[in-house]
A and B are shown apart, each in its own frame.
Chain A
């Protein structure tokens, strides 16, 4: 329990520190990647890295927004599946405009996000239960569209999201645009409100920040991010699968945590969540290059997630606290009572 005046975290603490930390780890992994992967210095490497990380990176941006606001979104995987199957069942003809498909993906994602947001804001259900419930509703709806893997998307849609300008991949540009858009929003009153609500919802409300519109917008934005992520996923697989998103929920959470976003809200940066996604994708590439079975991916992702929390957060803090308490007790023991 915090006592006294609530400190608005994320305002005083420089967010640049976590940002630089995850960027540093990313650079280390990039160096490792170039050293250990044969043929890594070819011109297609940026596209490979961007394409294999873009889905988790974009979804992690959305998840990071919700986590920053103090919530958890367990429905991310099912929203990805839902958008995926809708695209794969409705954008199969070659004549259709691929931009319409992308916009539709964003709209579906935003609607899913708004449902989550409304349940949390107006229904006042704890975010974990609300998003767990909707995750099953969304995957059920996905099953209506496509009961088993199948479907396809038009080649124009697939090429729109998988190509590159020379060495610069489209997906990399897309991730950059989304990250820059969020950095802009972050500097606006809305972004500040999200950090304030995540740090201490009660204090934010008492200082005049309206929770409902800001939180609804945060969930809608996260949904849009999931929608774009799902569009990229669909372009890559060029087919639909009602359970394609299931294993991604854990990976997205891992990316957010590795990026240094504080679970519980108020601290961290969305850009570093993108770094987290890149790190995770490089780890799995490195495992693949090392000839390790892909089954180990789950184990490594889970272990890295818990390790990241242990290193970044409470363990060092607890150790520091214990040390301070010990120092205090030593001082108490050696100082005569009269002189205190």
Chain B
């Protein structure tokens, strides 16, 4: 690419030092570390501002909710790594939550079966997304936007506007219980999920293939990878994790409601972008995404009670734009 040489020779200040930093450490790791540092500072600030124990409890439960975002953002990370975007997360989550509570029965007795069935549904929705994108060649943004609309209608029709049933007991306990040192189970699970998710992407052949396809679909195809299968599989994973996130959210709030996934679309994308992934695909880490989720969560904690939904929405949107401006500039016009 000719852009490299011109960039190196350009007299713009700061370019050289940035390249050297990137060489030494890897940009994504740098981003993830700095994001984590900011998160730690923000959380400390939040704890110092409200230093009574009930406030600390509130903070823990907010961090518990970040597991939901982190799970939804895992699928989004893989999709973004392949160079796509999944906008169907909100209503796949709602679908997952609504069907989970409907099938669990009034006492949540058939919870385990309903849980598995809901994950399967998410996978099937993801498969339809993937097939639409690689076979019909619908742009990913449009395909998943359409899927979101279709699911919204389908869930409205199924529930007649009023979801019923209750969350399975094991999910309620999982999302609301406390483990060692009074730290919620979900925070421990979040740690485990971060390690497992990162391993799946960096330590397995499948993860390597995702990166290869995202970096250059053509090069990956020439190297013998079935890039269509890998791209479609990314959406299957995203559908499954979105349904899982919806199920976890149902467990947390002990019920499902229409539009429960709506406020998770932007955080799922923002976390990926803040975590240093390239929205053009091929570059990014799940650890960075988790750092992004934690940062968004701590921003939410600091802002809670002091500002309106309006400020929160603007801040989240602006954080996407600022990080995109910092790390996601493409060399030429897209």
Q: Which residue of A lies closest to B132 (CB)?
A: A306
Q: Contact mask A134-178 → B, CB, 8 Å, 1/0?
A: 111111111110010000000000000000000000000000000
B147 touches A136 (CB 8 A): no
Partner of A129, one of B139, B273, B312, B333: B273
Q: Which residue of A lies closest to B140 (CB)?
A: A128
A254 to B175, CA, bound (A): 39
A259 at the interface (CB under 8 A from B): no
A234 at the interface (CB under 8 A from B): no
A137 touches B318 (CB 8 A): yes
Partner of B156, one of A74, A119, A298: A298
A124 touches B145 (CB 8 A): no
**Chain B nearest Cβ from A136, distance in angstroms:** 3
Q: Which residue of A lies closest to B273 (CB)?
A: A129
Of the listed stretches A39-47, A48-56, A308-316, A330-338, chain B binds A308-316
B85 touches A299 (CB 8 A): no
A293 to B159, CA, bound (A): 13
A123 touches B329 (CB 8 A): yes
Chain B interface SS verdict (over half): helix
Q: Contact mask A269-307 → B, CB, 8 Å, 1/0?
A: 000000000000000000000000101111111110110
Q: Contact mask B251-283 → A, CB, 8 Å, 1/0?
A: 000000000000000100100010000011000
**Which residues of B in the span 130-167 have a Cβ within 8 Å of any Cβ on A?**
132, 136-139, 141-143, 145-150, 152-154, 156-157
B223 at the interface (CB under 8 A from A): no
B157 touches A293 (CB 8 A): yes
Beyond A125-B324, A136-B320, A144-B310, whether A302 also contacts B333 by CB under 8 A is: no
**Chain B nearest Cβ from A225, distance in angstroms:** 19
Q: What is the interface size of chain A, counting residues whose CB is below 8 A from a CB of the partner?
A: 62
**Chain A nearest Cβ from B239, distance in angstroms:** 15
B153 touches A147 (CB 8 A): no
B269 touches A132 (CB 8 A): yes
- Residues of the A chain whose Cβ atoms lie less than 8 Å from the Cβ of B318: 133, 137
A127 at the interface (CB under 8 A from B): yes
A134 touches B312 (CB 8 A): no
A108 at the interface (CB under 8 A from B): no
A299 touches B330 (CB 8 A): no
A72 to B145, CA, bound (A): 12
Q: Contact mask A198-221 → B, CB, 8 Å, 1/0?
A: 000110010000010001000000
**Chain A nearest Cβ from B269, distance in angstroms:** 7
A264 at the interface (CB under 8 A from B): yes
B333 touches A135 (CB 8 A): no
Q: How many A-B residue pairs have CB under 8 A?
A: 166
B310 touches A250 (CB 8 A): no
- Residues of the B chain whose Cβ atoms lie less than 8 Å from the Cβ of A130: 321, 324
A250 touches B148 (CB 8 A): yes
Partner of A121, one of B149, B218, B333: B333
A249 at the interface (CB under 8 A from B): yes
**Which residues of B in the span 280-315 have a Cβ within 8 Å of any Cβ on A?**
280, 308-315
**Chain A nearest Cβ from B267, distance in angstroms:** 10
B316 at the interface (CB under 8 A from A): yes
Interface centre among B273, B317, B318, B329 (most CB of A within 10 A): B317
A105 at the interface (CB under 8 A from B): no
Q: Which residue of A lies closest to B331 (CB)?
A: A124
A120 at the interface (CB under 8 A from B): yes
Interface centre among A138, A293, A309 (most CB of B within 10 A): A309
Q: List 25 A-B contacts (CB under 8 A).
A: A70-B333, A125-B325, A126-B324, A126-B330, A127-B334, A132-B320, A133-B321, A136-B316, A136-B317, A137-B321, A139-B313, A139-B317, A140-B309, A141-B314, A144-B310, A215-B333, A263-B139, A296-B153, A298-B150, A301-B149, A305-B146, A306-B146, A309-B136, A314-B137, A315-B136
Q: A254-B146, A298-B152 are in contact. List 10 more A-B contacts (CB 8 A).
A: A121-B333, A125-B328, A127-B334, A136-B314, A137-B313, A140-B312, A143-B309, A201-B332, A299-B153, A302-B150
